[in-house]
Structure formats: C-alpha cells, structure tokens
Structure 1
Amino acid sequence: MASATLLLPTRTRLVGQALPVVVAKALGRADRGRGEEGERAQLRRQFQLIPDHWPVAALTRQLDAGDAASSAWLRADPARVAPDMTGARMLAHGDALALTDEDVARLLPALRPLFGDAGFPLDAPHPSRWYLRVPKDAPLPAFASVDDVLGDDLFAHLPEGDAGRRWRALLTEAQVTLHNHPWNAQRVAEGKPPVNSLWFWGGGVLPDTVRTSFRQIKGNEVLLRALASAAGVPTEYAGNDEVDALIDLRQLRNLDLLCRDALQPLLAALRKRELDSLTLDFEDGAIFVLRRDQRWRFWRRPMPRLDTLRPDEVPA
C-alpha cells in the first residue's frame, strides 16, 4: 500500500479555528515527533544529499539550465531594498518583483562587466533567479538565505570577515549600478518596484547524489522541484496512487481548506486501507504519523486545535 507525507507550513499560520471532529480525533491518537525547525530542515527530512551539504544555487541552476555540474554556483537574486533609520531593509525579491525577460535584457548588461572582471560570470536563465558561476575551488563565505533577510536589515546579514569583504564590495557596486540605471526609473514610473540590489546566497556545487524514499512528488516550489529532479522523481501526477508520495502544501494558510480538501479525504483513505500511513510534517518541526490501527487508542483525547499540545508531548 501507499503512504503519503504532507509538507505543511508552521502551525501558527493555521491555528485560530477548531479542528473538525474526525481530524481532532486522528491527531490526538497519532504518533508525534519533533524535528528541527525551518524550511531547510523540513526538506532535509525528505531528501538525502551526498555529499551532505545544501547547495541551493547549484540545484536550482540544474533545473533552470541543466549545466550545473561544470562549476560551483551562487544565486545573485534581484531584490528591492529601501533605506531606513538604521541602514537598509529588503522589501521584496525574486518572483515578488514580477520581472520579465525584458527586465533581464535591460539590467544584466550593466552588471556583467562588474562580475565578469571579478571572475564570476553572471546570467539569468529565469527572470527571478540570477546566477554567478564560481570556480569550484573558490572559497565562499557563509551567505544568509534570501528568505531570512526579507523584511530585515540588509547589513545584519552581510557575509563577515576577510572572506566576505570582496562580496560586500561587489554588492555595494551592484547597488550603485542598479540605482543609477534608467530602466529602474522607468519601472518606478510604471508603478513597478525598482530592482536596486542583489542578494548572494545558496552557494556550492551540485551534489553527487540526491536520494528520497518517495516515488511521486507533488508541488510547484522551485527548490522542491529541483530536489525531485535530481532524485529522478516526477513532480507531475503519474496516474499511480499506489506509491509513496510527498505532497507540498506549505502555501496553505486556511485550516478549513486543509482539513476539507486534504486531511479528511486522506483519513478516509486510511480507514478504507487505500493508504498505509499519513505523515504531517510542519515547518516548525512538529511531526504527526497517522495509521489505521491508531483508532484503538480511544483513551487519548482529541486535539481540538493544532497548538493544543507540543508535538513531543505524547498523551498517556
């Protein structure tokens, strides 16, 4: 029989409403666990990389262009920053800027000499994902993930020390170039956000191997698709419901929708023996494993809300 694992957002984004009775009973009787918090940790529970590192840029580059094996890669994603009293704050990046091929054609030629002279050719196989090609033996400092920087002070996340000095200088020069570029003035005149900064992150080389226990993965998020592709697992519906499947629902914010369209049908499949097990993996580290034989745990209280108990508190 098949099993299903749901990737879910942090529970605090779904609480505020009571769980349906059937869901509350199932979660109250489920096996519970605790994993590390965060998107990276959540995905690493589902995929094993050899060597054990997390080169987001190389993985998404392989998905976007198919040539990642030749070099190390660093994302140089377009961003919008705005000054505040303490420095500058990142307000948007990537897809939120709604960039087009024309934006890339206008902005990249102004930046390429800067990075080319530094030995890091810049290109953009996707309007929202820009890449620097880096020699495999080039030392890279630690870069903060772009999502960790969003909404925060940019300067608090800059790469530190001597290794980061070169990258801090490149970022400053790129910001000056973009700030002065006439195409940004046109974007602002059209009511679009300017592209006035880049953010370097996700550096590394493509892993030798990516493994997962799933035979089908459903989701549109870019990194998930890149990992699935590297593991040789389709992300389109393959017409076979009798395989272990990973389903990405991290974009959901509505608890009623989650329960009605996902949890209740899957719990019905468990009862009918169409599904062997169901795992709920939340981004905050909460993990619930549900099986049909748990229905005999009648002494366990239902969970009326997702935040009723910590996931490591197993009721007697």
Structure 2
Amino acid sequence: MAGLTLLLPPAARFAGLALPPVLAKALGRADRAQAEAGEPALLARHFDLLPRGWPAGALTRLLDAGEDDARRGAWLRADPAHIRPDINGARLLGVGANLGMAQADVDALLPALRPLFGDAGFQLDAPHPARWYLRLPREARLPAFAAPEQALGDDVFDHMPGGDDARRWRALESEVQITLHNHPHNAARLAAGKVPVNALWFWGGGVLPDAVSSRAPTVYSDDPAVLGAARLGKLHAMPLPAFREIEDDALVDLRGQRDARALLEHWLSPAAEGTRAATFDFADGARFSLRPPQRWRFWRKPLRVLSA
C-alpha cells in the first residue's frame, strides 16, 4: 500500500452533504469498489491478525498493562455503563469514556463488584478508569457480545447475546445492576452533574493475537484497540494529528470522528488535493482509490454526494 489510507465512518453518514468541488471532481475520477461492510471487515482489510479476529479487550489490555500481562489469559472488557429505562425498554446512553470516569469512581465502585465476579472465577480490574477488564481462562467460551458503538442509543435488549453461553452473563449483569443501583457513590456522581454508573457493558472478548501485521508502516488512531494492535505489530503508531502532520504511507483511522462536514473539509478534501495516492475506505464497504494520473479522466463527471 503506497500513499495515504483513510478509514472512515459509513458513507451513509455523509448523505445530503454537498461535496467540496475539488473532492467531488477527484471522487468522480477515482477507481471505485465495494468491499464487505462493517467495522470488523474494515479493520481486517488493513490489519492481519493471527489467529483471525479482533479481540479488542486483549488489544487494549496490552496498551494499558503491557504484553506480558495481556498474555496471561483471555480478556473481556467490562466497561462502566449508563442504561436509562424508557417506555419501550432500556437504552444504552454511555459507556466508559462517555461517562467522565475518574480514578475516584474506580476506587469506590470496583471493590463492591469484585466479589460478584470472584465467585464466578473471574478477576475484575481497571488499569484505566474508562477501561475495565475481566481476566478469564484462555479456553473460556464467550457469547457474541456487541461493541458499545453498535449499541449506543439503542434498546439494550436488541443487543443481548443469545444461547446457552449467554445465560451466566445475563445473570451476572443482573447482579451488577442491583449492586450499582444501591451504591452510594452514584449519589455523589449525580450531585457532581454526572450520570450514575448503573451497569457494566461486556464486549471485546478473546486472547491476544500471536502476531499482527499491516501494509501501513505508520498508524494514526484514537482507538485504543487499534493502537494496541499497532504496538503488537511493532508499527509506528500515534494519536490523530492535524492533516498537515500526516506522514506518507500512513493509515489514518477516522472512524470515531462524528462531524461529517469536518471530515469532508479537513481530511478528505486535503487528501484529494494532494499529489500522493490516497484510498478512502468507508465502514459500509465503499472504497475510492485516488491516483495522480486520474486527473486526465476529464470526461468523468464530479461526484456530487456520498451515499450508502
């Protein structure tokens, strides 16, 4: 992979936004393809993990506690969460970093929750206030838990795992909610203008991969799992900078950016104006490959809008 690759939210998020003229012209002349949709498929196109998969909990554990620690078992994220009941069910409104977690929250809540998981044979800890973990046996069988970004804003019951393996986790979650509902620290959070921590969100289970590789020598991302994968693969990795600071032959992870217009103006348009090759890879599978010789495709009309 030569040039710049941008990992982007779904193209549908840009629907209805007029594209800047330079970007519209470049996308109209670009090579287009449709790849498999979904963030797991998007990440798999750019990171080769052995064994396959995306064990986010193990990857972030490496970032938070080091590789030696991350090799000691399987990991499941058990992040603090806020669920709000409504007339139609219960909605997930915040997880981890969304809740403004601090070490004081960890110190108050973790001791009350640890015995629940200790009785089940799991160890709960929180090396980062927003990222809590369960250490499990390497051979532990886990149901398919939904990542927070899949469930935020939705009824949590639409994202509950099914099957026999999920029963014990539903029971544990019920005990967690009872414990947190009665915990006095949540009154202190409310008094400070914060929402209560009334649940844990399980997700990202698995063991640390044996190896990670990527065709990109440099990775920019604010996603701890991506940074953990890059560290394991001994790639040059760092948080997102401004566009002008991006090096050549880099993978830039913009999936978490919420302002679609800002993405068009501050990332896609400058990349389209540059003289280096660029690939725009969207989470819903749309792909555009931009190359300098495409400027001679003058017969192609500009692309006016992005859509699914």
TM-score by length of 2: 0.91
Q: Distance in 1 between matches of 2:163 and 2:291?
A: 51
Encode CA deviations 1:136-162: one digit per residue, 9 max, x unaligned.
Answer: 112222222222222222223223222
Contact 1:14–1:253 at 8 Å: present in 2 too? Answer: no
Which stretch shows the higher mean deviation, 182-191 or 169-178? 182-191
Give the drift of 1:210: 0.8
Aligned partner letter, 1:121: Q
Q: Distance in 2 between matches of 1:257 and 1:189?
A: 35
Give the drift of 1:33: 0.8
Give the drift of 1:186: 1.5
Q: Distance in 2 between matches of 1:254 and 1:129?
A: 25
Partner residue in 1 for 2:112: 110
Pick closer, same or farther for the CA change 1:60–1:286 going to 2, 3 Å: same
Identity in percent: 55
Give the drift of 1:47: 0.5
SS of residue paired to 1:235: strand
The correspondence of residues 167-316 of structure 1 with structure 2, limited to 5 A, is: 167-236=169-238, 243-254=248-259, 257-270=262-275, 275=276, 277-307=277-307
Aligned partner letter, 1:99: M
Contact 2:22–2:273 at 8 Å: present in 1 too? Answer: no
SS of residue paired to 1:105: helix
Partner residue in 2 for 1:46: 46
Partner residue in 1 for 2:17: 17
Aligned partner letter, 1:281: D
Contact 2:146–2:159 at 8 Å: present in 1 too? Answer: yes
Which stretch shows the higher mean deviation, 159-168 or 105-114? 159-168
Unaligned runs of at least 5 residues, structure 2:
none
Contact 1:49–1:210 at 8 Å: present in 2 too? Answer: yes
Give the drift of 1:259: 4.2
Pick closer, same or farther for the CA change 1:261–1:152 going to 2, 3 Å: closer
SS of residue paired to 1:63: helix
Aligned partner letter, 2:63: L
Pick closer, same or farther for the CA change 1:264–1:82 going to 2, 3 Å: closer
Which stretch shows the higher mean deviation, 293-302 or 232-241? 232-241
SS of residue paired to 2:290: strand
* C-alpha RMSD over aligned residues: 2.2
The aligned length equals 303
Partner residue in 2 for 1:313: none
Aligned partner letter, 2:181: H
Q: Distance in 2 between matches of 1:82 and 1:17?
A: 32
Partner residue in 2 for 1:4: 4
Q: Distance in 1 between matches of 2:246 and 2:109?
A: 46
Give the drift of 1:218: 1.5
Contact 1:75–1:203 at 8 Å: present in 2 too? Answer: yes
Aligned partner letter, 1:6: L
Give the drift of 1:14: 2.6
Contact 2:23–2:273 at 8 Å: present in 1 too? Answer: no
Which stretch shows the higher mean deviation, 225-234 or 208-217? 225-234
| Bigger radius of gyration among the two | 1
Pick closer, same or farther for the CA change 1:240–1:103 going to 2, 3 Å: closer
Q: Distance in 2 between matches of 1:172 and 1:233?
A: 41
SS of residue paired to 1:70: coil
SS of residue paired to 2:93: strand
Partner residue in 1 for 2:155: 153
Which stretch shows the higher mean deviation, 114-123 or 213-222? 213-222
Pick closer, same or farther for the CA change 1:15–1:85 going to 2, 3 Å: closer
2:81 aligns with one of 63, 79, 82: 79
Q: Distance in 1 between matches of 2:125 and 2:225?
A: 19
Pick closer, same or farther for the CA change 1:254–1:135 going to 2, 3 Å: closer
Which stretch shows the higher mean deviation, 73-82 or 214-223? 214-223
Aligned partner letter, 2:293: D
Pick closer, same or farther for the CA change 1:244–1:170 going to 2, 3 Å: same
TM-score by length of 1: 0.89
Q: Distance in 2 between matches of 1:187 and 1:218?
A: 34
